[in-house]
Chain A
Amino acid sequence: MLHIIFTLYGVLFLGKTMVIAKKEMGSLLQEKTLVLAIIVQLLIASFSSLLVIGLASFFDPSALDKYGGQRANVGIVGEGELKRFIEKSQVRPYYYHDIDSALYDFNRNKIDAVLVMPPQDSGSSEIIQIIIYLPRSDIKGTFVTLQLKKPLEEYEAFVRDVRNPRIGFEPVRLYVESSHRKTSTYFEFIYGILIPLLVFTPVFISGGLIIDMFTEEFERKTMELLLVSPVSFSEILDGKMLTAVVIVPVQVFLWLALVRLNGVAVYNTWIILLLISIIAVIVVLIGALVAVKYKDRTISQYMYSLILILLFLVGYLFADSPFNIVTRLSSGAAGIETLVYSSAFAIVALPLYVYIRRLQIS
């Protein structure tokens, strides 16, 4: 234990480690790699928000507001109980006697969907079959789907009210006095995906970075030069790791600030920064370990990617994984009590660190 405290002290205050750290930081800045890293993260953020917001609007009735109340034209064939639900809804119905004339208008783009009324009714015991014709690969089909969903659901509820008593089913009923309803998609996306993504990408990048720092020294054969100089291997290790780890909380802080500028409340910033620094130490240690073991960039990066994918997936297996903790912290659902997890992760990092320092470099 004493050894570790001494080392930590050394990391922070000893000159030679800082020399290595300065050298690595200098080359990072000179090559403008960090700028590229920021652009990468920006791309990831914009792609994922584009995807989720885009998709959400296809599942979300409130997306219809964007259409400014425009109503979908739907051809209705036949008569039935469903009719009054459709007439109440947003769609504009056109009535046809037979399917052929309806499809004729459909193909001439007069209407965007054809709904065939079911012959069964709610009182019977048969399943009620509704047939809907939609245009293939056409945004209008999506538009109609969204508008038809509500009356169909209401109709289903109506039929269920008639039929459920037959089997003695009582639905869970909760009441709320609220006029403004909003989908939970955006909230869950921002805290469940976007913020963890922004917080963890710098960590993953730093892990790859440390591999490059080491393998480059090995492949250019400069490691041998460094080792015969007065700098020891552990100092080289500390210096490189310091650089790779320190840039993580800096980037995360900037990201969270940016998110906040966009009007999203982010809670517990400092706890997140602490947690992410500890995770960064673990991931950077893994990267360093892989690089020192294999010395070859191709294989090291490959192995590191595999380990990363594994860790990433494992992270989604548990409710208390770092991703979920960041989600809860940033949304304000959790607070200071998560320091328990931070310390648990720190305990994971220690043996790794001790192990890698004992490695002998030939």
Chain B
Amino acid sequence: MMGILTISKWEFRRTRLSFSKKTLFLSAFLLILIGAVSFSVSQTGLHMNDKIYKVVVTDPALVPIIQTDDKFEVYFAQEDEARRLFEQGGLDLLIIKTKIIHTSSESSISALDALDKAILRYDEARLLSYNDLNNTFPVWITVKNIARQQVFQSPSVQKLPEIEAVSEKTAASTPVIGKTITPEPGEIAQIPSIREVTEIKKGSRSPIKEQALATPSHFDPPIPFKSVVLSFIFIFPIYFIAQFFSSSIMEERVKRKGELLLVSPVKPYQIVIGKFLPYLLITLALVAVIAVNIGGSIWIVLMLLPVALIFLSTAFMGAIIARSFKELTFVLIFLSVFLSGYIFLPAMFANIHAISIISPITLVVKLLENEPVSISEYLFSTTPFYLVSILIFMFGIFIYREEDLFTQKPVGSKLLDSVQEFINRVPMPVFFLSITLLPLVFSLQLMLIVLLFNVPIRIGIVVFILIAAFIEEVVKSAGIYTVFSRKIYPVTTGNALKFGILSGAGFFAGEKVLLLLVIASIAGSVFGSVMGIGLLIYPLLLHVTSTTAASLSLKGTGNYLFSVIFATVIHAAYNLYLVWGVVFG
């Protein structure tokens, strides 16, 4: 423990020292500028799609009206001239007095819709200026949201149209999560029924202030857009600090400063934890500061802890395996894009769909909207993050040693090294490796569900089955590949059989444990049954068979990719057979 703390102190001092006063000053200056610019962007609105549509009108009164929307470039001409211009092409709409003429081009047709919206906004803005709501906005809607049990209908997909089928099933996947089913009168949520309408004030000509409207034209699904944008601010400190962490590790490797520490009696895990702690603490402190400043609950820190962990752990792994700064940059960009997608995409659907709970950012959004978060929701969305981060740290620490840190080994070979370390240290390694890597598989598959959410369900399920099977087969055969390619055990048919069975059984066992822990709610849905839940004996046979097939093929051909694909085909064929009847009737 002392060792860890000492290293933390060193690391903290080092990072602080590398920032000179001038640098700090400049970065503060840039941050203030960024703040100022984002403020003015929020005031004037984003200039996006400006002048993308070109319209020619014959009525001069229309010019200022259409110009309230920056998307339009408006020309004025007499009728003959206007017609001639329009026929020349390059213009999207021709408006003769009050009659709109359009072409069949994409831009013309969408200009039509954009014009509709612009006029609607213009009219509403004018109506608002009357300051007489009873006569201008006579119809108001109050929405009351009630939590109720979401049904799981047996999937007679034949009758169910495409999207609905997915949503119903995935909706059923996380039915209540800690909420009571029957709403008593008091439980009816006091969701703010009036949504703020900021767009209205677009166009400086219109004399409107920000006003809240709850009229039919603003009766839209409750997308928590504002809260998601707000929660995006948190990602900046997390991302930057992870960058610093990886840079520190990489710098040590490049400058060979870390060599001394490695030969000291301090254990590698102590060095890594010691280096990582200050970064984690700074991240959490920054998150807390932001949370307080934007008026959010301090619980946000707890929601973002797993997010910070996963960014830091992947940054650490990236810094260990990269051969150069360039490679590190790319690995980090890749990881942050992937992770941001994973956490932000579901959050957009926070009020719309229960599946959104797989992302901790959804919980942040809920907190920002003053909605409660239950413990089971927290566990459901964060457990995979915690487990995967620990896993990544563990495998990273395995190769935190001279031969991997200070050599130019390719990425793949370093990953094999870390698996080999696992095999050397753990009893029954092939069995437990499959179990250990399960959280990773689980997270990737959840991500996959989100990505395939918008694809028509039939294609979605087939693609999901194929990719999910591939991921599982890669993980299950990783240990076997390491054992054979590193010659830890002799490459014989007997060993191939033995390891195939062990690995498959391990994966099966882990899956069942995980099932008990977290994903009981996904079982029963079509996606759930693809994830291998349901019957007991068949999944066991399946995992063992496919992995053994991979193992034998690996022994025969020595080609890893081929063997994994071979196993994937077996695996996917079985799963497809299982859900074929359900999906394709």
Binding site for B on A (CB under 8 A): 27-28, 31, 33, 36-37, 39-40, 43-44, 46-47, 50-51, 53-55, 57-59, 66-68, 70, 103, 106-107, 109, 118, 122, 125-143, 145-146, 148-149, 152-153, 155-156, 159-160, 163-164, 166-167, 169, 171-178, 180-184, 186-188, 191-193, 205, 208-209, 211-213, 215-216, 219-220, 265, 294, 296-299, 301-303, 305-307, 309-310, 313-314, 316-319, 321, 323-324, 327-328, 331-334
Chain A residue, CB-CB nearest to B138: A159
Given contacts A156-B139, A184-B111, is CB(A66)–CB(B161) below 8 Å? yes
Would you call A172 and B329 a contact (CB within 8 A)?
A: no
Chain B residues within 8 Å of A296, by CB: 18, 251
Besides the known contacts A163-B138, A220-B254, A319-B47, 14 further A-B residue pairs in the complex with CB atoms under 8 A apart? A31-B323, A36-B334, A50-B454, A106-B148, A118-B139, A133-B144, A134-B143, A137-B352, A181-B109, A183-B113, A211-B325, A216-B324, A299-B23, A324-B49
**In the bound complex, what is the Cα–Cα distance between A140 and B167 (angstroms)?**
9
- With a cutoff of 8 Å between Cβ atoms, the chain A residues found around residue B119 in the complex are 172, 174
B31-39, B288-296, B430-438: which one contacts chain A?
A: B31-39
A-B pair count, CB < 8 Å, reads 353
List the 8 shortest-distance A-B pairs measured between CB atoms, nearest first: A152-B216, A184-B110, A187-B110, A298-B247, A212-B325, A68-B161, A192-B49, A136-B145
CB distance from B134 to the nearest CB of A (A): 5
Scoring B223, B329, B348 by chain A CB atoms within 10 A of each residue's CB, the highest score goes to B329
Complex CA–CA separation, A176 to B164 (angstroms) = 34
Return B334 CB to nearest CB of chain A, in Å.
Answer: 5
Binding site for A on B (CB under 8 A): 18-19, 23, 26-27, 30-31, 33-34, 37-38, 40-41, 44, 46-54, 65, 70-71, 73, 90, 95, 98-102, 106-107, 109-115, 117, 119, 122-123, 126-127, 130, 132-151, 161-164, 167-168, 171, 182-183, 188-189, 215-217, 219-223, 240, 243-244, 247-248, 250-251, 254-255, 323-331, 333-334, 337-338, 340-341, 345, 348-354, 356, 451, 453-454
Q: Are A107 and B182 in contact (CB under 8 A)?
A: yes
Partner of B454, one of A54, A306, A333: A54
Minimum CB distance partner of A160 in chain B? B138
> Are the CB atoms of A172 and B122 closer together than 8 Å?
yes
Q: How far is the CA of A37 from the CA of B326 in the complex (A)?
A: 11
A160 surroundings in chain B (CB, below 8 A): 136, 138
Interface pair B123/A171, CB less than 8 Å apart: yes
What is the bound-complex CA distance between A220 and B350, given in angstroms?
A: 47
CB pair A59–B221 under 8 Å, yes or no, is: yes
Chain A residue at smallest Cβ distance from B127? A169
Question: Shortest Cβ distance from B321 into chain A, in angstroms?
Answer: 12
Query: Which residues of the other chain, B, contact A178 by a CB distance below 8 angstroms?
Result: 100, 102, 112
> What is the distance, in angstroms, from B85's C-beta to the closest C-beta of chain A?
15
Assembled-state Cα–Cα distance A229/B483 (Å):
47
Q: A152-B141, A219-B251 are in contact. Are A265 and B106 (CB under 8 A)?
A: yes
Smallest Cβ distance from A113 to chain B, in angstroms? 10
A156 and B47 contacting across the interface, CB-CB below 8 Å: no
Least Cβ–Cβ distance between A42 and chain B, in angstroms: 10
Given A137-B352, A188-B114, A328-B51, are A212 and B326 also a contact pair (CB < 8 Å)? yes
Interface contact A135-B150, CB-CB below 8 Å:
yes
Q: Are A299 and B18 in contact (CB under 8 A)?
A: yes
Partner of B144, one of A54, A131, A209, A318: A131
Q: How far is the CA of A37 from the CA of B333 in the complex (A)?
A: 8
Find the B residue at minimum CB distance from A41: B337
Asked if residues B150 and A310 are in contact (CB atoms below 8 Å), the reply is: no
In the complex, the answer to whether B145 meets A134 with C-beta atoms within 8 Å is yes
User: A169 near B47 (CB under 8 angstroms)?
Assistant: no
CA distance A322 to B28 in the complex (A): 26
In the complex, which residues of chain B have a beta carbon less than 8 angstroms from the beta carbon of A324? Answer: 47-51
Chain B residues whose C-beta falls within 8 Å of the C-beta of A317 in the assembled complex: 37, 40-41, 44, 47
Q: For the complex, give the distance between the alpha carbons of A163 and B163 in Å.
A: 41
**Min CB–CB distance A340 → chain B (angstroms):** 15
Known: A66-B163, A125-B134, A176-B100. A184 touches B30 (CB 8 A): no
Cα–Cα, bound, A50→B454 (Å)? 7
A51-B337 contact given A67-B163, A142-B221, A188-B114, CB 8 Å threshold: no
Closest A residue by C-beta to B104:
A180
Closest Cβ of chain A: how far from B306's Cβ, in Å? 20
A131: chain B residues at CB < 8 Å are 141-142, 144
A159 to chain B, nearest CB (A): 5
Query: Which residue in chain B gives the minimum CB-CB distance to A133?
Result: B144
